[in-house]
Amino acid sequence: MDKDLARLIEVMKARQRFVVTSHHNIDGDGIGTLLSFYFLLTSLGKEAVMMNDGNIPYFYQFLPEVEKIISYQNFLALYPDYHTTFDALVVVDCSNLARLGKAEEIAQGFSLVINVDHHPDNSRFGTINWIASEASSTFLVYTLFKELKIPLNQKVATTIMNGLISDTGGFTFVALDRRMLLIVEDLIRAGARTSEIMHHNFRCRRIEALKLLGKALERLTYDSELGVSFTYITQEDFQAYDAREEDTEGIVDYGLYIPGAEIAVLFKEIGREEFKVSLRAQREREVISIAHHFGGGGHFKAAGFKIRGDLQAVIQKVMQYIQYASQQKIVAH
């Protein structure tokens, strides 16, 4: 067994009270890992509290026991002495502490921080770090259930499958090899609600979100020589369509639908002259080096960063760097 995994199991068995959290603006894998790790701890007879800074998108509200996830504010109000109330903080699917949002403030208060993640650029901020480059972070929780010989039930299988389906785009960016198929079969046998998960992840969006998608698609720009597309969403758009940040989930992916497109970029104005840039890649290309260049991170094929400036200047700066990186033929490792 992996040394880090063995240490993680040892510590989990020894401690009793845990706080489990994941990154700000939680996604399908973050929430799947948060919930399945919580089920793992409670199966071991541990006490666990789930906390997350930020909104839980409505299309993940179908997941079992999602209502038990408390906000950072409620957590502080309920557990003012959290550093003595709990024995450990578990951070899942989160490459660095800054991605916790406001919850970063409490990480220092814990003598034990357990870091469980699949991002290749994880900063190893924990006391214990179990980092493995798997298709999703829920995959790691699956491994823990197997190592500890805890049987899967429907809730566990559904939350693990949610992360897997979400981070692989419904198995489109992963090799459906024998190992993956066996895990999928195991999860389905345990009761994972696959079609419900597919529906909520990819076919369930508010009309405000669909209108926003329409606007982003109308503006889609494509450079066929570079195989790079981009679009943007401004603060005015969010207001015009009464849309929120969760309504942008999945929009960046459309830029890769164009035959020949290898990189897609979405610029989202999250505050005045403050942008969140999402990057996606396919085939031989990667985008993690582009995200790192601008101070962000992520995966080889899906990454992001934040940048300040006015819209046109930001687009120009980023697109110029992508053009430069394309000419250098920076390809996936």
* Closest of 203, 217, 214, 287 to residue 255, by C-alpha: 217
Q: Is 117 in the site for Mn ion (CB under 5 A)?
A: no
* Selection from 318, 232, 322 nearest residue 286 by Cα: 322
Give the distance from CA 12 to its chain's centroid: 23
Q: Does 269 bind Mn ion (CB under 5 A)?
A: no
Residue 299 CA to residue 187 CA, distance in Å, equals 25
Asked if residue 137 binds Mn ion (CB under 5 A), the reply is: yes
34 versus 263: smaller Cβ distance to Mn ion: 34
Q: Which stretch binds Mn ion (CB under 5 A): 163-171, 196-204, 236-244, 253-261?
A: 163-171
Do 308 and 273 touch, CB atoms closer than 8 A?
Answer: yes
Residue (250 or 309) nearer to Mn ion, CB: 250
Closest to Mn ion by CB, 66 vs 76, is 66
Nearest to 305 by CA among 95, 132, 33, 39: 95
Choice from 93, 104, 262, 269 touching Mn ion (CB under 5 A): 93
Stretch that binds Mn ion, among 88-96, 179-187, 229-237, 309-317 (CB under 5 A): 88-96
User: Cβ contacts of residue 140 below 8 Å, gap of 6+?
Assistant: 33, 116, 117, 118, 130, 132, 134
Q: CB of 253: closest distance to Mn ion in angstroms?
A: 15
Nearest approach in angstroms of CB 244 to Mn ion is 21
Judged by CB under 5 A, which of 24, 25, 26, 29 binds Mn ion? 29
Stretch that binds Mn ion, among 37-45, 86-94, 194-202, 312-320 (CB under 5 A): 86-94
Residue nearest Mn ion, Cβ-based: 29
Q: Is 249 in the site for Mn ion (CB under 5 A)?
A: no
One-letter amino acid of 329? K
Compare residues 29 and 53 and give the one whose CB is closer to Mn ion. 29
| Among 53, 167, 237, 253, interactor with Mn ion by CB under 5 A | 167
Q: Could you give the CA distance from residue 152 to residue 138 in angstroms, rounded to a whole number?
A: 13
Q: 3-state SS string over 63-97? A: CCCHHHCEEHHHHHHHCCCHHHHCCEEEEECCCCH
- Separation between Cα atoms, residue 159 and residue 161, nearest integer Å: 5
Token output for 95: 């490459």
Dist. CA 102–CA 182, nearest whole Å: 39
Least distance (Å) between residue 32 CB and Mn ion: 9
Q: Closest separation between CB of residue 127 and Mn ion, Å?
A: 21
Decide whether 33 or 194 has the Cβ nearer to Mn ion: 33
Tell me the number of residues near Mn ion by CB under 5 A: 4
Give the residue with the Cβ less far from Mn ion, 106 or 303.
Answer: 303
| Contact residues: Mn ion, CB under 5 A | 29, 93, 137, 167
